[in-house]
Amino acid sequence: MSREKMPHAYLFTGIAGVGKTMMAMALSMALNCRVSSGLEGCGQCPACRQMLSGNSPDFFCLAPDGQNVRIEQIRELNRQLAFSPVARFRVSIIRKAEAMTGEAANAFLKTLEEPPSGNILILNTTEPIDLLPTIVSRCQRLSFQPIPFEEVCGWLMEAKGLPESEARIIGHICQGSPGMAVEMLETDFKEKRRGWISHLLALHDMTRADAVSLAFDLATLAKNRQGTSGDRENSLLTLMEIWKTCYRDFLVISAGGPMRMLVNVDFQEPLKNVAGRYMVHNIVECILMVDRAAWEIKRMRNSSLVMENLVLRLKDVLRGVGTEGEKRTGL
């Protein structure tokens, strides 16, 4: 890494929890380390210790205020950039850069065009398509790929001490995101997962009124969850990933696959009882429905309406109700 030839701006893309922010911190350490001149900081010099303790004056992290990154936040970033870095470089990162408002994005574009010397700007995003093309074109892009399933499982067993069956469940649901895996371990994930799977398995015997009530309850629980709007969004997205593992298990059962291939092995018998009611094309249709609902949630559509449409459409698959008209009109 040549400190003299560093791009002034990077665009880090990839799913949440795959290490984009950690990479930005590591880059800051490597650039400002007083001992090492390589790709890693020494971890011992004053600059590295400040970075590791979260007290570095040369690292600035900006996150959404609620659902958006606002122009006031960009102005504060610009104020920070006006000061010379204490060490060689200041690294400033905008998390969820796609959440910038139009005003904020335009203000940041001006900064990006003429950044003060000694500053490196990093945009973290899961949705680069939502950024202004003029911003994207001025950044060096680095794509962070999901961690392979087997590597995540191995890490969960070795570093976190999980049994293989539990590691495989979390490995499937986290979709290659170690950050999401850790979040599952630190919350009441086990209890939530059992409840969410039980709801899905019971959905097809519910009345439509009960199904609507279930959708409302699930959306309300997510809204009432403590934390940011991103936390609430992730709660529903996690639910949908768990439901997708159930439909995946239905496919395994329908194809006569071995039960050891199931993700939700602790629900083996209930899954077998429900899977027999599906045709294979019905299962695929349901997976696509869940994917569509997740897409809607990510774009901050009305979560109650999205969940109501989803559960009713999933229920209607087994009732033989046609969905071609719904597909044409969308959610």
CB burial class (10 A; 0-12, 13-18, 19+) of residue 16?
buried
pLDDT for 3:
53
Give the single-character DSSP code of 76. H
Q: What is the mean predicted confidence (pLDDT) over 218-245?
A: 72
pLDDT tens, residue by residue, 206-217: 999 999 999 998
Per-residue pLDDT at 321 exceeds 50: no
Work out the angle at residue 141's Cα, subtended by the Cα atoms of residues 7 and 230, and round it to the nearest 5 degrees: 115
For residue 322, what are the β-bridge partners?
none
Q: What is the mean predicted confidence (pLDDT) over 303-324?
A: 79
Residue type, 43: G
Per-residue pLDDT at 9 exceeds 90: yes
Work out the angle at residue 187's Cα, subtended by the Cα atoms of residues 294 and 156, and round it to the nearest 5 degrees: 90
Q: How do 140-143 and 9-13 pair as beta strands?
A: parallel
Confidence of residue 330 (pLDDT cuts 50, 70, 90): very low
pLDDT for 157:
96
pLDDT for 39:
80
Confidence of residue 72 (pLDDT cuts 50, 70, 90): very high
**Tokens, residue 34:** 């007083």
For the chain, give every domain's residue range. Answer: 3-143, 146-178, 187-325
pLDDT for 233:
62
On whether the CB atoms of residues 71 and 63 are closer than 8 A, the answer is no
Domain made up of 187-325: CATH architecture: Up-down Bundle (1.20)
Q: What is the mean predicted confidence (pLDDT) over 122-140?
A: 95
pLDDT for 302:
84
- The CATH number that domain 3-143 falls under is 3.40.50.300
Give the single-character DSSP code of 86. S
Alpha-carbon distance 124 to 307, whole Å?
Answer: 28
How many beta carbons lie within 10 A of that of residue 60, not counting itself? 18
Per-residue pLDDT at 226 exceeds 70: no
